[in-house]
Amino acid sequence: MIRAILVVVILIVLGALKVPIERDLAALHRKEHFRGVEFNLDLREKLGQLGFVAALSGFRAIVADGLFIQAHVAWERTEWGRVLLLFRQVTTLQPRVILFWDMAAWHMAWNAAVAAMNDKSQPRLALRVKAQREYFALGKDFLERGIKNNPDRLQLYEALARLYKEKYKDHEHAAEFYAKAATFPDAPSYEQRFSAYERSYCEGREREAYEQLRQLYDEGVKERLPTLITRLKFLENKLGIPQDQRIPDK
């Protein structure tokens, strides 16, 4: 009986000590946006025994780097299923490393998608297109989850905008994510310009795009790039801008 009481007392004391520690860790995870690391059976299945033990013992960064190297080797061998699996493990272990999310999306939406479309072992075009679109979706998923874990970093917004532009030909969403990237204090000046370019291709949003591009043009010579001038002239014609309000031909 005394032993049982002692065990209960120890458990109560340990529980009391554990609560504030877990609360502080949860607050730190929220602050650092560690949404991707949950130590549960799902993580155990994703990482395997060694990776899970390493994650619990604080060696996430080392294990993630090792898996990243393995993913590079798998890419060289065009083992796309293994590349996907390894990058899911890497991004789960290190959700705040932008490079891992960006590389995962690039391998899926660009490399694997191109390989699927050029797969000579699949004679049916429809199935090759289907596989290609599935890889696009995997790339998009990596970027979307990367943004959820890193809402304070602009690189993944830009990468997602580029994916919408180049792979989905979705100018509306491309403009949206370039615009989101442009809101960051350290955003390059081209983010706003790219957003306006993409918006100029969206039916019904030409006036908005024209005003944005004209504002950039009026900022000075450094903004008067060939693409900007080409899109401005296109919009001037489409919107019927009066001749005396148009930019000069040269």
DSSP string, 98-119: HHHHHHHHHIIIIIIHHHHHT-
Question: Do 158 and 127 fall into the same domain?
Answer: no
Supply the DSSP symbol for 248. P
Residue 106 lies in a domain: yes
Domain range enclosing 90? 37-151
129 vs 16: which has the higher pLDDT: 129
Question: Do 83 and 168 fall into the same domain?
Answer: no
Residue 20 lies in a domain: no
Supply the DSSP symbol for 124. -
The yes-or-no verdict on residue 237 having pLDDT over 60 is yes
Across 75-100, average pLDDT = 95
Question: Do 142 and 162 fall into the same domain?
Answer: no
Question: Do 141 and 225 fall into the same domain?
Answer: no
126 vs 5: which has the higher pLDDT: 126
* Three-class secondary structure assignment of 146-203: HHHHCCCCCHHHHHHHHHHHHHHCCHHHHHHHHHHHHCCCCCCCHHHHHHHHHHCCCC
The yes-or-no verdict on residue 111 having pLDDT over 50 is yes
Across 144-168, average pLDDT = 97
Question: Do 102 and 191 fall into the same domain?
Answer: no
Question: Do 158 and 145 fall into the same domain?
Answer: no
Answer with the one of 106, 125, 151 that is the final residue of a domain.
Answer: 151
Residues with Cβ within 8 Å of residue 198, at least 6 apart in sequence: 161, 165, 171, 172, 174, 175, 178
Portion of the chain with pLDDT greater than 90, in percent: 71
The yes-or-no verdict on residue 193 having pLDDT over 90 is yes
Residue 29 lies in a domain: no
| pLDDT for res 32 | 46
Residue 3 lies in a domain: no
Portion of the chain with pLDDT greater than 70, in percent: 76
| pLDDT for res 37 | 46
Question: Do 72 and 133 fall into the same domain?
Answer: yes
Predicted TM-score (pTM) of this structure? 0.78
Q: What pLDDT digit, counting tens, does each position of 30-77 carry?
A: 554 444 444 444 544 555 555 555 555 567 788 889 999 999 999 999
Residue 75 lies in a domain: yes
Residues with Cβ within 8 Å of residue 95, at least 6 apart in sequence: 33, 34, 35, 36, 37, 146, 149, 150
Residue 236 lies in a domain: yes
Question: Do 120 and 172 fall into the same domain?
Answer: no
Answer with the one of 133, 151, 169 that is the final residue of a domain.
Answer: 151
Residue matched to tokens 């990468």: 159
Residue 42 CA to chain centroid, in angstroms? 22
Phi, psi of 246 (to 5 degrees): -80, 160
pLDDT grade for 249, boundaries at 50, 70 and 90? confident
Answer with the one of 90, 121, 151 that is the final residue of a domain.
Answer: 151
What's the whole-number average pLDDT of the chain? 85
| Rounded Cα–Cα distance for residues 92 and 102 (Å) | 14
Question: Do 178 and 217 fall into the same domain?
Answer: yes
